[in-house]
Amino acid sequence: AQSVTQPDIHITVSEGASLELRCNYSYGATPYLFWYVQSPGQGLQLLLKYFSGDTLVQGIKGFEAEFKRSQSSFNLRKPSVHWSDAAEYFCAVAILTDSWGKLQFGAGTQVVVTP
Amino acid sequence: KAGVTQTPRYLIKTRGQQVTLSCSPISGHRSVSWYQQTPGQGLQFLFEYFSETQRNKGNFPGRFSGRQFSNSRSEMNVSTLELGDSALYLCASSLLQGKNTEAFFGQGTRLTVV
């Protein structure tokens, strides 16, 4: 069965420390991968996406993610976290079709930033 | 450029009633998708419309329906509301031009069923 797994439900990180959020997927075909962020009461904002090519992708707000086909992973990283990074982060997958409207999301990782 | 606009932002309904939510996509975007977000089930795909046609549908009962108009605006309707329909309903629009496309989300409609 197709699935997207975010193993960490909740992560607490100190401001200025590095952050890594994990995402694993299970699909037969090559997936197209996304990371979204959601602040309380808000919609989803796209941080970055991977379609093909360079496996290390850069996104907005200083985030980057690395696609590892052998591990079926697409982990999100940020070298130095700011208090404004506190939010919920979702990994999502779209299968290659003519429709990008159908995304499957992971359960999300809540990130708390401490002073 | 205006983003995806969802109205209303908040809604309170009684069990058994019906509700209609509206989504205006980004200008030029012809694909509109709807998602339900709840604490227990997370983000779940409801359906997708493209050029007034439903192209994909998630695993939801027939009480959930939608449509898209010629100007790409979309509505979703939930009939005979149940307490479990309380959720944040998110709409996303996309341009669908090859690989350089992405889904842009609105701020959502928070539906509370009492």
Residue-wise pLDDT tens digits, B32-76: 999 999 999 999 999 999 889 998 889 999 999 999 999 999 999
**Is the Cβ pair A101, B32 closer than 8 Å?**
yes
Cα–Cα distance measured from residue B7 to residue A19, given in angstroms and rounded to the nearest whole number: 35
Taking only the tens place, the pLDDT of each residue in B7-27 is 999 999 999 999 999 999 999
Inter-residue contact A101 to A3 (CB < 8 Å): no
Q: Does B63 touch chain A (CB under 8 A)?
A: no
The pair of structure tokens assigned to A18 is: 């590095």
**Is the Cβ pair A101, B99 closer than 8 Å?**
no
Q: Does B72 touch chain A (CB under 8 A)?
A: no
Q: Does A52 touch chain B (CB under 8 A)?
A: yes
Q: Among all residues of chain A, which has the CA nearest to that of B43? A: A105
Q: Which of B99, B105, B106 sits opposite A51 (nearest CB)?
A: B99
DSSP class of residue A52?
S
